[in-house]
Amino acid sequence: MTAIDTRTQARNLLAEASAIFTRNGIDSPELDAELLLAAAAGVDRTRLLAGCWSADRECVRRFHLLVERRAAREPIAYIVGRKEFYGLDFEVGPTVLIPRPETELLVDCALKILRARPGSRVLDIGTGSGAIAVAIAVHAPDAEVTATDLSAAALELAARNVRHHGCGLRINLFVGDLFAALPCSHQKYDLIVSNPPYVREEDIAQLDPEVARYEPQMALSGGKDGLDFYRRLAAEAASYLRPRGEVIVEVGAGQAAEVAGLLEAGGCRAVETLRDLAGHERAVRARLAH
């Protein structure tokens, strides 16, 4: 088949898939169709659009299966098994939350703090895919990072991302509930970061089907009022911080003031509320009070 034939065939396949996605309420039908056709063809999107691939029958069959999954609102990242975060490529799958671009703000803030504290120890609680821990380790090469998660399956995937980015010697992974995951030697940290589950239980069903049906409940549910995880983290964080140690936690809409209050009650002094590019309060930064 010539490149022109391939482009015509691609146009037809893409038009058919986009129409299905539009009928199923998907926001970016054309882009999603292109990403899935590229995945089925085993090429990147640029090569796909240039016609530098061939659509044999097997490729078309693969594409139709991927389209069916996306039409059922499975997230693209789970279908292709990858997601970019902080300019780095991560493996993702149904055992972990898909890292969100908003969470890059937490990494920006962490790196700013670490530049002023060389050789720091960092703790990432609820690391999921390992996105935050890896982004910090890659960009702060003198930091020593510990990352934990209650989900053993998530940590297995995080371990692959850690190896993929060559951070195996600088990121330690531990499975378990909050601070109980840590080995009993009472290590203290310069910085604790966390993007915890913070969605109110009753709100989960109203989230987009991509989130509500496919992402792990354990990564989303912050209990009745969404604040369960912060309550527990704030009560213990101070005893795991070195002098002038800091905490940065991502928060959901409308949670910043309450989370700052919890951290203050736990012995920290709230320093700053960070806003994302859309102007929404997105993270709270606090420092050990003494």
Angle of helix 3-23 relative to helix 29-41, nearest 10 degrees, comes to 130
Site string for ligand GLN, 70-109 (x = CB under 6 A): ---------------------------x--x---------
Rounded distance, CA 174 to CA 171, Å? Answer: 10
Query: Which residue of 197, 227, 249, 266 would you call a contact of ligand GLN, by CB under 6 A?
Result: 197
Q: Which stretch binds ligand SAM (CB under 6 A): 19-27, 93-101, 134-142, 261-269?
A: 93-101
Side-chain-side CA neighbours of 109 within 13 Å: the count stands at: 25
CB of 183 to ligand GLN, least distance (A): 26
Angle of helix 57-71 relative to helix 29-41, nearest 10 degrees, comes to 140
Rounded distance, CA 60 to CA 55, Å? Answer: 6
Is 211 a binder of ligand GLN (CB under 6 A)? yes
Which residues from 95-114 bind ligand SAM, rule CB under 6 A? 96-97, 99, 103
Query: Which residue of 29, 51, 75, 128 would you call a contact of ligand SAM, by CB under 6 A?
Result: 128
CB of 64 to ligand GLN, least distance (A): 29
Which residues from 123-152 bind ligand GLN, rule CB under 6 A? none
Query: Which residue of 6, 95, 195, 255 would you call a contact of ligand GLN, by CB under 6 A?
Result: 195
Which residues from 219-238 bind ligand GLN, rule CB under 6 A? 220
Q: Which stretch binds ligand GLN (CB under 6 A): 82-90, 193-201, 240-248, 261-269?
A: 193-201
CB of 160 to ligand SAM, least distance (A): 15
Is 126 a binder of ligand SAM (CB under 6 A)? yes
Is 195 a binder of ligand SAM (CB under 6 A)? yes
Binding site for ligand SAM (CB under 6 A): 96-97, 99, 103, 125-129, 131-132, 148-151, 154, 177-178, 195-197, 218-219
